[in-house]
Amino acid sequence: MADEPLDSRISREIRERLKQSRAAVEEYNRLKAALQVLDKTDGAATTKTRARRGSTRRTQTRAPRGVNREKALAAIRDQPGISIAQLSAATGITKNVLYGLTRTLTERGLVERVDGADGAVAFRIAEPAEAKTVEPVGDGEGSEATDAPKRRRRSRRKSEDIAAEPASDPLAPSEQAQDSAEPV
């Protein structure tokens, strides 16, 4: 074999490998045909599913209630005059979340907006006298309510529902007020 020409030796090796792999190719073709037959019989009973699109899940999980608020307040307390960008870097909270959070904290009177050193809007903890409080409800016993009032949620009613309702005159006295004014 050592004196066999190179091209003859290569063609002989290729023929041997073809013989060895022929059984695998035949097995492949038999399995493919069987699968096609099975798919035709099952295809009538089942419907094809659409290809999945990209994942719609969030890449990050939501923070537990109040955690972002506490992180932001701690950072503002430590660094008065901190901007949104600095606050985001210090807390790891995204800027879009911080814009809404600082608006809520400002409305509640817990923080106040100030002019930052670079001209950007900055925040600091509000003075205690400036913080808004809610008057206690009831006879005054028990714990005092010192939290700011909760924001109202927007109505989720459709505009057609609102348009279908009769418009009420805000200046007209309500029926309830008229009923209470009449002597019984």
Residue 181 lies in a domain: no
pLDDT at position 118 is 78
What domain range includes position 6? 1-45
Token readout for 117 is: 């050193």
The predicted-structure confidence for 3-24, as pLDDT tens digits, reads as follows 788 899 999 999 998 888 888 8
* 35 and 78, same domain (yes or no): no
Dist. CA 95–CA 87, nearest whole Å = 8
Residue 15 lies in a domain: yes
State how many domains the chain has.
2
Q: In the listed set 85, 110, 130, which residue is the last one of a domain according to the structure?
A: 130
Domain CATH code at residue 97: 1.10.10.10
Residue 81 lies in a domain: yes
Residue 160 lies in a domain: no
User: 72 near 91, Cβ under 8 Å?
Assistant: yes
The predicted-structure confidence for 127-143, as pLDDT tens digits, reads as follows 876 445 544 444 445 44
Q: How many degrees, rounded to 5, is the angle at CA 50 between CA 48 and CA 56?
A: 150
* 39 and 80, same domain (yes or no): no
The predicted-structure confidence for 42-93, as pLDDT tens digits, reads as follows 655 555 566 666 666 667 788 888 899 999 999 999 999 999 999 999 999 9
